[in-house]
Each structure stands twice: as structure tokens, then as C-alpha cells.
Structure 1
Amino acid sequence: MADTMQFDLVAPERNLMSVSVREVRLPGENGDLSAMPGHTPAIVNLRPGLVTVVDDQGAEHQFAISGGFAEINNESISLLAEIGRKREDMDQDAFDEMMRAAQRKKKAAEQKEQQSGAEEVVAAAAKLLADMEALGTHIGLSANSSTVPD
């Protein structure tokens, strides 16, 4: 078994990272997990949180994501993030952008619920918003300044 695997992190605006890695720690929708070379193939839905990448030299890199999914196989991980930023690039403005996107999803889900009774959609959107707030708290940013106007 090899001791590294290929990792690619892509967000809509650009490719954030493409390197050989020892480990990737992911904020899974059903709980956090680590993927290493030889991992069982899986597709994992991701919640907002920090992705930690340990490169082939042992250096750690962190990225804040708003959600997405990761495709894991024996030799590689491809992560497609809805919104992704390097941890050091996360400032209040970038976090506000991510919070507004989560708030818009919740508002759209509430409107859909009123039309069709889709309570589970609203619950998922509320969880997304709560996870975004928790991400902000974890990295020292405030969720209070990023509200969506009615």
C-alpha cells in the first residue's frame, strides 16, 4: 500500500489544491472522518466546516468549505466544494458571503415548505445554517453581521 494519495480540492471559482497527501480530514454530513491511502471507496456529503490536508511532507493545510461532496477511492480524493477558501484567507467578508448563501437556502426552503409541506427540506437548510455558524465560531468570525434582507 502506498503511503500517499492524490488530493484535488475544487470550488466553483478555481482549483484550490492538487497535491500528494498522507491524510485528509473531512467534515462529513454524518460525522467527521479521515481518509488515507487505501481507504474504502466512498462518496461523502460534506457539511460546512474545516478540511485539513496533511501533505506528503507532513505539513497541514486547512480550508473552510460551505458544503459539497468528496469522492474517495484507494488512490485519490476529489473534493468538490460549494464555496471554499484557504483558512488563512477567511476573513469576516468571506464568512459573511458563506453565511448569506446558507441563509438564502434556508429562506428558499421555508418558501418551498409553505407551498408543498416539505418539512425535511427546511430542517436540512436550518442544519446547514447552524453548521455555518459553528464554522464561524470555530475560526473566530461572527455570524451576526451576515444577515439576508427580507
Structure 2
Amino acid sequence: MATFKFELVSPERLVLSTEVDQVDLPGVDGDFGVLANHSPFLTTLRAGVVTVRTGSDTTRIFIRGGFADVSPTGLTVLAEKAVPVADLKADQIAAEIRNAEEDVTDAKTPDARQRAEQKLAQLRDVADALRAA
């Protein structure tokens, strides 16, 4: 299988920079996968799990939103926050959910409330997926 360059960057640090076979991402319009020679595009990401496949190895990383840029040179993800799933603690996800619940309560406009509710639903989905893993 052909490989391509993948970089995952958070505000704190470069999380991952490597050659990969495939990356599956949580897009705002639905999950999608990227393989070598994918058509270029730019999209927004929602909170969820990025799955990175290299040979027989699979790495899962929780992100809290961001952007994905697929280009002829590879894939770059700029994430608001990125934490390896193996490092996640149930209390961290619970704190993220509490923050999102507060955002729903504090929303001043219908649009802000809708965005906050979507984020809350996504985080609950992540919590459910982590419990199932």
C-alpha cells in the first residue's frame, strides 16, 4: 500500500509526524478516510477520534475539533486539542462534557445553542465509543 506524510498539530505541540497508510477522521459533515494520492481539499473537523493506520499498527487520537488539509504533499490536521486515546481518562471526558453542558446553558443565541448542543452530542459519542473500546 502506498504511504503519505501525515502531521497532527495541536496548539501545544507537534503530536505526530510520520508516513502512514491511511487516516480516518471525524469531519463535521461525516467521517472520512484519506489514502495516498487523495484529491486535495480542506475541511472542518468535529470532536472525535482520529485513527491512523501504518502497516499493522493502529493509533487512535482524540481531537476536539480543528481543520484537515489534504494536499498533494500529504495530510495536515490542526486540532484544537489532541490526546492519544490510550492516555484519556474517564474524568477528562466527563470534564469536557460538563464544559459543553455549561456552553449549552450559557448560549445567548439559537445558533450558539445549536453549536454547543452539537459539540455536547459529539463528546457524548466519544465517551460512548471509548467505553466500548
Stretch moving more, 72-81 or 131-140: 72-81
Q: Is the 8 A contact 1:22 1:58 kept in 2?
A: no
The answer for the alignment partner of 2:44 in structure 1 is 45
Structure 2 distance, partners of 1:104, 1:46, is 22
Question: How far does the alpha carbon of each residue in 1:61-91 deviate from its partner, in whole angstroms, 9 at most, with x for none?
Answer: 0001121111111231111111211010011
Cα deviation for residue 104 of structure 1 reads: 4.5
* Residue 120 (structure 1) shift: 2.2
How many angstroms does 1:102 deviate by?
Answer: 2.8
Note the C-alpha offset of 1:7: 0.6
Using the TM superposition, give the Cα deviation of residue 133 of structure 1 relative to its aligned residue in structure 2, in angstroms. 0.7
Question: Which has the greater radius of gyration?
Answer: 1
Q: Structure 1: any 5+ residue segments left out of the alignment?
A: 114-118, 142-150
What's the TM-score once normalised by structure 1's chain length?
0.79
**Counterpart-to-counterpart distance in 1, 2:46 and 2:102:** 16
* Residue aligning to 1:148: none
- Report the counterpart of residue 3 of structure 1 in structure 2: 2
- SS across alignment from 2:36: coil
> Cα offset for 1:4?
1.1
**RMSD after superposition:** 1.9
Tell me the TM-score normalized by structure 2: 0.88
2:111 is aligned to: 120
| Uncovered stretches (5+) of structure 2, i.e. residues with no partner | none
User: Which residue matches 2:30?
Assistant: 31
